[in-house]
């Protein structure tokens, strides 16, 4: 159901929006669940699955963590099962009230992929940057090569891991896609040979990579590259179909259930291939995408390139890790409950969760069909915008993406070369719910306030807002995603004991969720859509930290059997769930580093449905002014290897 069919006179009897003094509006609380590993993890799993004990144990856990608030939430609204929202009435109301919208230059996303002015602009910027930074080459080499055993030459200039740098090198004839394919394979293999191994990928097919590179090299040789990404190594989360690979979703049993490799690309893989990308393989992920920690006991614990003893975040852990480590400048992930934004934030890269259905779900494994989104993780805002331009838009294999284009129009992106140098955000209204953003680690809070100040300096107006009932919204998001994942996995019940312990515990919780709670959670989704429709009448954007804490540490005792850590996961998702239950788009960019453990800090920007272009515009301005200078502990880029061999 879309918002166009929602009753405008629907009553919400227990809501007291903004009534001062009667009730504190901010109501999020931490989850009361201990960190489980080793014997405690196995004992808890026994209680969750034992026929005689599971009902009483899981019911107490359900009650203790306030899940009963879902059924107690008194409202009279229809359910919304898919958040595909028509905002045309909202736009008309603004026009009738003479409310001015923030205006900036933009063009169709597909036009960006062939924009010669963009290429020339960044070529000139790169030339200026190289000249001004030539005296810093020693520092830059130390920055990325301290863990690269292949090369210790401190006088080598590091080439930035970006799509435009690949394009520049190809167009100048300094390197070919064939050479890059070989360098990528070397870098990926090296990343898994070190201690501890990076484990960013579940599988790569070397012959397939080289075959794609040969075709790309021929196009470059004839002067006919297909787009900006022709010959660029791009990876896919192993939830996305790609010809020649199995789609495992991080499990061991899906390959047994479907022994034949895929003979057809997903919609996003096809779109990338049509633009000339070299699809380099399947990224590792948290099993069935059920946690934002990002580990996998079957294919190895993916490591955070900024601190190898910490989690990368998940569930698109390998995607964010491979971009952060320089292996490839762009990856495509999936986000059902923060699974693009959380790992991108923890790994110090950019992650965009588009509006629900803006990117095709054709050929995506059906894990969480009403909260899942597909989107890019890139080394910069520009790379992320290019990735979005490649994959956004209608796909006949996904009817929802066709409906999305009817409601949101064809996807557009900013004309980055036309962004004003002075006060580029003048007229932009940015919403801040201060009680919410204050509820995080002090370093994350400080970084968030610095970003808000930068937005203000660049011309934005900061508007204080309030968002009531965040707790029941978060609980509803959890109920929806767990119910849908549980439904997806029921057909594989004969393999349930092959799942990780944490997956089995989460699915056991899902088993006790009443069907009535799933229905009620979707009614609460309707409330949330109406609530944010009202909020976006007064502001253009909403900003928060991306996470409340930094990347958790990987303790030695968890490597064999993993862990269940709902409390930490809740802190990682504290600012995330709104985007999934309502379908509004959100982006995270890196803005700082923790002082003690070199862990990235992310800043999240959320916009009205279908306004990814505004997210990219604002995050580009912020990225330029924040000037993030994080230094990964492990970095090994194919372009660096090329530079080292010159």
The residue from 141, 227, 291, 339 that is catalytic is 339
> β-strands 330-335, 233-237: how paired?
parallel
330 φ/ψ angles, rounded to the nearest 5 degrees: -150, 140
Q: How many CB atoms lie within 10 A of CB 456?
A: 13
Contact between 184 and 280 (Cβ < 8 Å): yes
CA distance 574 to 371: 16
Q: Where are the beta strands (DSSP E) in 171-218?
A: 201-203
Question: Which structure tokens are listed for 71?
Answer: 């059924």
The residue from 188, 199, 237, 523 that is catalytic is 237
Helix axis angle for 54-64 and 501-511, nearest 10°, is 80
CA distance 467 to 436: 9
The residue from 141, 191, 291, 315 that is catalytic is 315
User: Is 339 noted as a catalytic residue in this protein?
Assistant: yes
378 φ/ψ angles, rounded to the nearest 5 degrees: -130, 165
Contact between 109 and 411 (Cβ < 8 Å): yes
318 CB-near residues (< 8 Å, 6+ apart): 199, 200, 201, 202, 235, 237, 238, 283, 284, 285, 302, 312, 331
Give which of 255, 256, 171 is closest to 220, Cα–Cα: 171
User: Cβ-count burial of 553 within 10 angstroms (0-12 exposed, 13-18 middle, 19+ buried)?
Assistant: middle
Give which of 628, 619, 121, 111 is closest to 393, Cα–Cα: 111
User: Is 345 noted as a catalytic residue in this protein?
Assistant: no
Which residue shows structure tokens 């005296």?
A: 135
DSSP string covering 497-512, please?
A: GGS-HHHHHHHHHHHT
CA distance 627 to 583: 30
**Residue 46 parent element (H or E):** helix 38-49
153 SS3 class: coil
CA distance 327 to 279: 12
User: Is 99 noted as a catalytic residue in this protein?
Assistant: no
CA distance 130 to 125: 9
Catalytic residue list? 237, 315, 339
């Amino acid at each position: 159901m879309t918002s166009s069919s929602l009753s405008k006179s629907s009553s919400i009897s227990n809501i007291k929006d903004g009534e001062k003094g009667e009730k504190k509006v901010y109501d999020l609380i931490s989850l009361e669940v201990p960190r489980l590993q080793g014997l405690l993890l196995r004992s808890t799993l026994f209680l969750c699955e034992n026929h005689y004990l599971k009902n009483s144990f899981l019911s107490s856990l359900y009650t203790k963590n306030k899940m009963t608030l879902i059924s107690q939430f008194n409202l009279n609204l229809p359910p919304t099962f898919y958040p595909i929202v028509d905002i045309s009435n909202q736009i008309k109301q603004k026009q009738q009230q003479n409310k001015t919208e923030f205006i900036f230059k933009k063009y169709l996303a597909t036009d960006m992929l062939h924009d010669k002015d963009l290429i020339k602009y960044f070529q000139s910027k790169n030339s200026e940057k190289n000249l001004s930074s030539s005296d810093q080459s020693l520092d830059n080499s130390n920055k990325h090569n301290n863990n690269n055993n292949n090369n210790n030459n401190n006088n080598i200039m590091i080439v930035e891991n970006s799509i435009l740098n690949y394009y520049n090198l190809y167009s100048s004839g300094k390197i070919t896609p064939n050479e890059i394919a070989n360098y990528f394979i070397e870098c990926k293999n090296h990343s898994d040979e070190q201690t501890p191994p990076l484990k960013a990928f579940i599988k790569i097919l070397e012959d397939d990579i080289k075959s794609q590179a040969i075709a790309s090299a021929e196009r470059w040789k004839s002067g006919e590259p297909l787009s900006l990404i022709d010959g660029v190594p791009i990876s896919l989360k192993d939830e996305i179909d790609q010809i020649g690979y199995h789609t495992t979703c991080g499990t061991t049993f899906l390959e047994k259930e479907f022994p034949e490799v895929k003979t057809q690309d997903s919609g996003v893989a096809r779109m990338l291939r049509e633009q000339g990308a070299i699809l380099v393989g399947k990224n590792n992920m948290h099993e069935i995408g059920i946690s934002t920690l990002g580990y996998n006991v079957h294919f190895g614990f993916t490591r955070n390139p900024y601190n190898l003893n910490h989690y990368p975040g998940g569930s698109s852990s390998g995607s964010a890790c491979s971009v952060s480590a320089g292996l490839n400048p762009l990856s495509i992930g999936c986000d059902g409950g923060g699974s693009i934004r959380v790992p991108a934030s923890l790994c110090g890269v950019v992650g965009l969760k588009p509006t629900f259905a803006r990117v095709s779900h054709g050929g995506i494994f059906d894990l969480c069909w009403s909260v899942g989104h597909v989107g890019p993780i890139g080394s910069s805002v520009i790379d992320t915008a290019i990735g979005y331009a490649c994959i956004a838009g209608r796909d006949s294999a996904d009817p929802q993406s066709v409906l999305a284009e009817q409601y949101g129009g064809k996807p557009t992106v900013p004309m980055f070369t036309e962004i004003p140098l002075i006060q580029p955000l003048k007229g932009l209204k940015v919403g801040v719910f201060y009680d919410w953003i204050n509820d995080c680690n002090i370093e994350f809070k400080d970084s968030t306030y610095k970003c808000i100040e930068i937005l203000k300096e660049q011309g934005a107006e900061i508007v204080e807002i309030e968002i009531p009932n965040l707790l029941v919204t978060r609980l509803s998001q959890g109920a929806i995603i767990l119910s849908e994942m549980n439904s997806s996995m029921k057909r594989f019940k004969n393999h349930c004991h092959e799942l990780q312990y944490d997956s089995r515990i989460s699915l056991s919780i899902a088993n006790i969720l009443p069907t009535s709670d799933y229905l009620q959670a979707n009614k609460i989704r309707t409330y949330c859509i109406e609530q944010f429709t009202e909020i976006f009448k007064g502001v253009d954007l909403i900003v928060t930290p991306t996470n409340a804490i930094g990347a958790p540490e990987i303790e030695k005792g968890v490597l064999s059997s993993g862990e269940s850590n709902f409390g930490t996961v809740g802190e990682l998702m504290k600012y995330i769930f709104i985007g999934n239950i309502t379908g509004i788009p959100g982006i995270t960019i890196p803005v700082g580093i923790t002082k003690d453990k070199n862990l990235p800090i992310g800043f999240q920007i959320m916009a009205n449905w279908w306004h990814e272009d505004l997210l990219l515009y604002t995050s580009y301005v912020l990225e330029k002014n924040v000037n993030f200078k994080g230094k990964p502990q492990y970095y090994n880029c194919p372009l660096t290897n090329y530079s080292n061999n010159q």
